[in-house]
Amino acid sequence: MHTGSLRLAAGFIVSVASVVTSPVVGQDRDSKRMLGGHNFVPIELLGDPFTGTYVRNSTGFGKALGLKVPIPDLEGGTLGVAEADIGFLTLGLEYQQNITNWLAIRVGGTGGARLGTSIEALLVEGATAVFGYSFGLSAQVIRSERFTLGASADVIPNKAYGISPLDFARSVIDNGLDSASSLLKKGKGRRTFFALRPAYVLTPWLGLVGQFEVGPARSRTDEEVEAEEEEEKVTQTTFGLGASVNLRGSSGTPIGFTAAYQHKSGLLGQGDVSGGADTWSFGIFYTGHRAFIVGLDMLSSSAGQAMSEDNIDLLGVRLTLRYDFK
């Protein structure tokens, strides 16, 4: 991860902490996330159906278990398949600005890195880092006392950098230490999607959130650009459903919970992950201030593999801090 990104995240956490520990005029005002007496606890996995102004930081880490990787030889063949584990780290920062009561613009940045935690994974997978940005526009199509429907459009370009010791060794054996024997490989991708997100309040302590996204995803490496190959394209679809539980709305207890399920199909540019993925998340959050949210998400995902018929399991946790300005 870039040192500048880590400093930015640390500065954001310090500034939010100073806001929470000092009195703020109007910090308990009704937020855009309030419907029918329920102040929705944000579910990052599903996105936000509201158009308020906020800033959000998230940091996550975890492991991919049960990954099947080929056992290679230097001649380009394989000796078999072995299980390997991969560790990963993610960092995200997002800001949304309300333009009118029903329209908002959004910009964000993300970074992620993964590294093989076993000899097999380190040899074959090496290390990968991905950095991207997002630009989006959200509109509130419908809003009543207990129901809202948000629509959004987002563009997410990214760049990927990978280091593969095995591929580098093969290149040195075949070509020697020339310019073609690059240890660092580069690629880029872009995803554009349109989304609908409904939200409905059942009681002052319980609300439901839905998600549906569809759009094209594209991916291309520098080697494919030099070979004048066409970029890989696929239509990616996502749908999900989640529940927001905020005990402050019923008993005054400053604790909130979230539970969500999400399914993705048409994954592209995800390394060994192929096809689709099913993800479950469960979170616990502090909701003592309506404008401020801090909490921890636990995530479990099962995804298809390019090299095996068996799914790969991903387990992780994510710390989220969010402040709503209006």
> What tens digit of pLDDT does each residue of 56-74 get?
999 999 987 766 666 655 5
pTM higher than 0.85, yes or no? no
Q: Are 89 and 113 in contact (CB under 8 A)?
A: yes
Give dist(CA 18, CA 23) in Å, integer: 10
Beta-carbon contacts of residue 52 (< 8 Å; ≥ 6 apart): 31, 32, 33, 96, 98, 104, 324, 325, 326
Per-residue model confidence as pLDDT tens digits over 212-268: 999 998 877 766 655 556 677 888 899 999 999 999 877 888 999 999 999 998 765
Q: Which two tokens stand for residue 281?
A: 């998340």
Q: Which two tokens stand for residue 144?
A: 């009543």
For domain 36-324, give the CATH superfamily.
Autotransporter beta-domain (2.40.128.130)
